[in-house]
Amino acid sequence: MEPVLELAGVEKSYGEDVKALRGVDLAVERGELAAIVGPSGSGKSTLLTIIGSLERPTAGVVRIAGFDVAGSDDEELAALRARHIGFVFQEFFLLDALSATENVALGLLYSGVPAQERRSRAVTALERVGLGHRLGHWPNQLSGGERQRVAIARAIVGEPSVVLADEPTGNLDSQNGAQIMDLLWELHELGSTLVIVTHDHEIAESLPRQIEVRDGRVVRDSAHEHIVGVGS
């Protein structure tokens, strides 16, 4: 089966001096739940932006659901993200002037789905994350944990090939953070492919696969039996 995400020899440089990624090889299969872990400055956030097609690599190959990022123009990449990638961020990024349902429906805005169907699918997604009783609430009427659930519903409403979560528990207390991780596990068990970027080794070690990044390289991948050498 073709990987959902595939990176080969990926490098990312900013100017001549900053090399954020140095020859990353990585594949994520459909249905996986994986953590990308590493300290600040390790390159894990850059790796997320490359995987999410928010930036292009300086060198190497990136394929998302079989599509070559380097061979796609900006319009094609926008369509690729709309169809195949769901994003969850630490800061939630909900629009205060929209209800929970309207915020989730935004996840389908660029997918060509009619307005009535967008709303119906948004309601279904909110029910999946346990917020069927908060459909008309504004973000400022929701707790931090509930706002993150809305963000997750927005990420999954289009049934993407992969959900990318950047520090999804970073702005939450331990109880709400544990509930969000439980929810992500539930989505995984229902077949979703999830990649979670975190600096929290405890969260990473609780997941089926850990991909450790340091100095722009993958130095450990638990999907393989050996430790990947820093020079590889």
Length of the chain: 232
Q: Residue 97: pLDDT band by 50, 70, 90 thresholds?
A: very high
Evaluate if residue 12 carries a pLDDT over 90: yes
pLDDT tens digits, 138-175: 999 999 999 999 999 999 999 999 999 999 998 899 99
- Residue given tokens 């060509």 in the structure block: 112
One-character DSSP codes across 7-30: EEEEEEEETTTEEEEEEEEEEE-T
Q: Which has more confidence, 232 or 105?
A: 105
Secondary structure (3-state) at 148 = helix
Q: 196 forms bridges with which residues in the sheet? A: 35, 165
What integer pLDDT is reported at residue 13 of this predicted model? 94
Q: How far, CA to CA in Å, does 218 sit from each of 6, 65, 193, 194, 228?
A: 14, 21, 20, 18, 7
Which of 154, 184, 153, 150 has its CA nearest to residue 167? 184
The answer for residues whose C-beta is within 8 angstroms of residue 112's C-beta and 6 or more apart is none
**Could you give the domains of the chain?**
5-221 (3.40.50.300)
Q: pLDDT over 70 for what percent of the chain?
A: 96
Among 88-92, 110-114, 185-189, where is mean pLDDT lowest?
110-114
Evaluate if residue 131 carries a pLDDT over 70: yes
- Please give the structure tokens belonging to residue 102: 């309207």
Evaluate if residue 70 carries a pLDDT over 90: no
Q: Which has more confidence, 109 or 85?
A: 85
What integer pLDDT is reported at residue 28 of this predicted model? 95
What integer pLDDT is reported at residue 225 of this predicted model? 52
pLDDT tens digits, 189-199: 999 999 999 98
pTM of the model: 0.90
Mean residue pLDDT of the chain comes to 91
